[in-house]
Chains A and B, each alone.
Chain A
Amino acid sequence: MELVQIQRSLVDYTKSLFMEGFLDAQFLQLQQLQDDSNPDFVFEVVSLFFEDSEKLLNELIIALDQPNVDFKKIDSHVHQLKGSSSSIGAQRVKNACIAFRNYCDVQNIEGCLTCLQQVKQECYLVKNKFETLFRLEQQIMASGGSVPTIELGF
Chain B
Amino acid sequence: MNVSSVKGSMSISSSTSTWKAGDTISDQFPAGLRVLVVDDDPTCLMILEKMLTACLYKVTKCNRAETALSKLRENKNGYDIVLSDVHMPDMDGFKLLEHIGLEMDLPVIMMSADDGKQVVMKGVTHGACDYLIKPVRIEALKNIWQHVVRKRKNEWKEFEQSGSVEEGDRQPKQSDDADYSSSANEGNWKGSKRRKDEEEETDERDDTSTLKKPRVVWSVELHQQFVAAVNQLGIDKAVPKKILELMNVPGLTRENVASHLQKYRLYLRRLSGVSQHQSNLSTIISAQDPTFGSLSSLSGLDLQTLAATGQLPAQSLARLQAAGLGRATAKSGIPITLVDQRNIFSFENPKLRFGEGQQQHMTNKQQVNLLHGIPTTMEAKQLVSLRHAAQSVGNMNMQVPPPGPQSSQNNPLLMQMGQQQQQQQSRGQILVDSTINHAPRLSSMGQPILSNGMATNVSSRNGIPENIRAPGYSQTPSMLNFPMNHASELPGNCFPLGSTPGVSNLTSKGAFQEDVNSEIKGSGGFMPSYDVFNDLNQHKPQSWELQNVGIAFDSSQHSNSLQGNLDLTQSALGQQGFSSGQMNGHNRSAAVASKAVFSTGDVKELRSAQNVNQHLNNLLVDNTIRVKSERVCDTSPANIFPDHFGQDDLMSALLKQQESVASSENEFDFDGYSMNNIPV
Contacts and interface: CB of A to CB of B under 8 A. Distances in A.
A26 B41 CA distance: 17
Ranked nearest first, the 7 interchain pairs of A and B with the lowest CB-CB distance are A83-B113, A95-B541, A84-B43, A25-B560, A86-B135, A153-B674, A87-B135
Given A25-B556, A33-B138, A86-B135, A153 B653 contact: yes
A30 interface: yes
Given A80-B40, A89-B135, A153-B674, A30 B87 contact: no
B87 A80 contact: yes
B644 A80 contact: no
B598 interface: no
17 contacts: A18-B672, A19-B553, A21-B553, A24-B553, A24-B557, A25-B637, A29-B51, A45-B43, A83-B87, A84-B41, A84-B44, A86-B113, A87-B136, A91-B556, A98-B538, A152-B641, A154-B674
B371 interface: no
Interface of B: 40-44, 46-47, 50-51, 54, 85, 87, 89, 112-114, 134-138, 537-538, 540-541, 544, 549-550, 552-553, 556-557, 560, 634, 637-638, 640-641, 643-646, 649-650, 653-654, 657, 668, 671-679
Contacts of B46: 44-45, 48
Contacts of A52: 41-43
Contact of B43 (A18, A38, A87): A87
Given A25-B556, A83-B134, A86-B135, A154 B42 contact: no
A28 B54 CA distance: 15
Contacts of B47: 30, 33, 45, 87-88
A2 B603 CA distance: 43
Contacts of B89: 76
Range of interface residues on chain A? 35 or more
Contacts of B556: 21, 24-25, 91
Nearest to A28: B641
A149 to B, nearest CB: 7
A40 to B, nearest CB: 12
Contact of A19 (B41, B43, B645, B668): B668
Contact of A25 (B114, B640, B654): B640
Interface in A79-137: 79-80, 82-84, 86-89, 91-92, 95-96, 98-99
Contacts of B634: 152-153
Nearest to A150: B673
Contacts of A151: 644-646, 649-650, 653
Contacts of A143: none
Contacts of A96: 541
A92 B552 CA distance: 10
Contact of A33 (B50, B135, B674): B50
A80 B93 CA distance: 14
A16 interface: yes
Contacts of B672: 18, 25, 152-153
B558 to A, nearest CB: 10
